[in-house]
Structure 1
């Protein structure tokens, strides 16, 4: 079956490089003129490649540093990189579209505590020290809650966390002394340290000191070692198990293909963990200060170890470094029990053992 004009146009939307477009038209005669049929730029353009897309009406800006064109018949911009709410309003006045809007602390000071429906994420410290805030509705348009977002909201009594949330920053509810009720759309597990929620990205947040009710019921905390990660989970989010000090072991299923930064940071009782071959990277601070971790098997699927990944793992004596690893983060083996042994490995840079 031969692809037609419309089909190849749909396929070529996912090309990454201008050379892919050029080679398509050179290699297959019937697809000559494919670039001329586009009314938007599917990739960032420069002075040369701009000449090949002659009929662009809507110019897409994918990165903050992309070259911007207003020539020809271009009448509108679509901005894909993150912009604050104030910038979005200015762009909207000019007829432009913003796809990734963050509500910052400055935005909240200027526009108030009601989160606009266009916003996709809440910035770090967005509502920090907002002492007048008693409750808040997080719309389903929100996917990320930044670091310390509701820090010291001392009057905040209740909050709803929708299933659209895929990331919650550390210290999100720090010193929310009046927070007694949380409603969570997709609750997974409650341990003594954290509340686990959502799928396919498993995320968590610290349990506020005075929290009493979750989803209309009194809190029933369980031993974190009873937690079995559901097979529906494909990613462990940033800080997911961080500072779960009683966690001794955990089984990571092969359905999981990503482990976030700081995922097991400060799990001081963690003795054993399996890393399935579905994982390709170990994030920054992933196992930092896992003080009881004695051995770990790194599969050959791993290509990168993040910054400070095993920092302070003082009892870690057995670790294999497969040849598949091509990137070692700064300080990834600093204060690690196996550092003297690893220093003999010529592939590992000196920066891995130093601050």
Structure 2
């Protein structure tokens, strides 16, 4: 079995949670004795009493607003008295808690490197041009009701999109999301009635309720890999949606997800799908083909009511469904 060398030991120690962990690690053997001296940036939150244990620190990491700031103040318009006079002289200060984009633009804050920048509605109204590349989050209702917006490209740094972010952007035609989205808020593109093209590669977790509800010009979409759930009325009332590609990661389709998708003709459910809730495909009048994998555990009530073009389906006996799940549709059960 390989043993830790000095370099690898330092990498491991970056994941320690407290100063006591570092002190204990230095006592393991002599080669780790000066581990704390090797850090030029603090791997854990530190106080004025603790800084003596990190004598070579040049860059200060501040993870939370409540952490010791060593006299460094972030300038805002609300600061009645502002001063960055401090006995500590760091080359730069990394701020890891969320701050608004407008704050990052004050020249008084040049010493800070802001790692989690949120674009607010107020910031956006003052912004000209594209979303800056240091923005990682879009606040709730950031672009809601913005009639002048016709296209939007999110930089790869953006990983969080707030609730109602693009709600009722009635002239929005195209959305390009190039980064890895970790959270997308409910009703994000709700009632973007002219939206016809959406491109995004990776999105973790779920597409929440009403995410694309009422996007009547949307004809096709590939749900990004990583999505495990489609929320309530996620694609409801997408009148012209005729093609949707679902990822293998998808497990749950919630109620009313595709209600009134009157142009949807065919759906291929992924091999890991587990549950389809009631009214999920309500009044999908053109739907004529859909498969049901063996992984599917249950289908909710009146799930396919109004699917007048769907004449017959094949189901595994292990799948639970209600009598009215397939009203007027022939069912063949297979082992």
Structure holding more strand per residue: 2
- CA positional deviation for 1:124: 0.9
Q: TM-score, normalised by structure 1?
A: 0.58
Q: Give the Cα separation in 2 of the matches to 1:56 and 1:49.
A: 12
- CA positional deviation for 1:12: 0.7
| Residues 1:252 and 1:35: Cα distance change in structure 2 (over 3 Å) | farther
Q: Give the Cα separation in 1 of the matches to 2:118 and 2:168.
A: 21
CA contact (8 A) 2:157 2:179 kept: no
SS at match of 1:78: strand
Q: Give the Cα separation in 1 of the matches to 2:3 and 2:48.
A: 33
Q: CA RMSD in A?
A: 4.0
| Residues 1:105 and 1:57: Cα distance change in structure 2 (over 3 Å) | same
Q: Give the Cα separation in 2 of the matches to 1:15 and 1:201.
A: 32
| Residues 1:199 and 1:246: Cα distance change in structure 2 (over 3 Å) | closer
Which residue does the alignment assign to 1:17?
Answer: 18
| Residues 1:80 and 1:102: Cα distance change in structure 2 (over 3 Å) | same
- CA positional deviation for 1:107: 0.8
- CA positional deviation for 1:158: 2.2
- CA positional deviation for 1:5: 2.5
- Among 124, 129, 133, which residue is 1:108 paired with? 124
Which residue does the alignment assign to 2:163?
Answer: 147
CA contact (8 A) 1:88 1:98 kept: yes
1:117 paired with 2:118, answer no
Q: Give the Cα separation in 2 of the matches to 1:168 and 1:10.
A: 33
Q: Give the Cα separation in 1 of the matches to 2:69 and 2:156.
A: 32
1:156 paired with 2:172, answer yes
| Residues 1:245 and 1:116: Cα distance change in structure 2 (over 3 Å) | closer
CA contact (8 A) 2:137 2:159 kept: yes
CA contact (8 A) 1:163 1:184 kept: no
Which residue does the alignment assign to 2:115?
Answer: 99
Q: Give the Cα separation in 1 of the matches to 2:202 and 2:18.
A: 42
Q: Which runs of 5 or more residues in structure 1 are unaligned? A: 213-218, 257-263, 276-289, 293-355
1:220 paired with 2:236, answer no
Which residue does the alignment assign to 1:50?
Answer: 51
- CA positional deviation for 1:108: 0.3
Q: Give the Cα separation in 2 of the matches to 1:208 and 1:104.
A: 28
SS at match of 1:8: helix
Which residue does the alignment assign to 2:235?
Answer: 207
Q: Give the Cα separation in 2 of the matches to 1:137 and 1:104.
A: 17
| Residues 1:291 and 1:246: Cα distance change in structure 2 (over 3 Å) | same
Larger Rg: 2
- CA positional deviation for 1:244: 3.9
- Among 197, 209, 224, which residue is 1:198 paired with? 224
| Residues 1:80 and 1:163: Cα distance change in structure 2 (over 3 Å) | closer
CA contact (8 A) 2:158 2:179 kept: no
| Residues 1:228 and 1:201: Cα distance change in structure 2 (over 3 Å) | closer
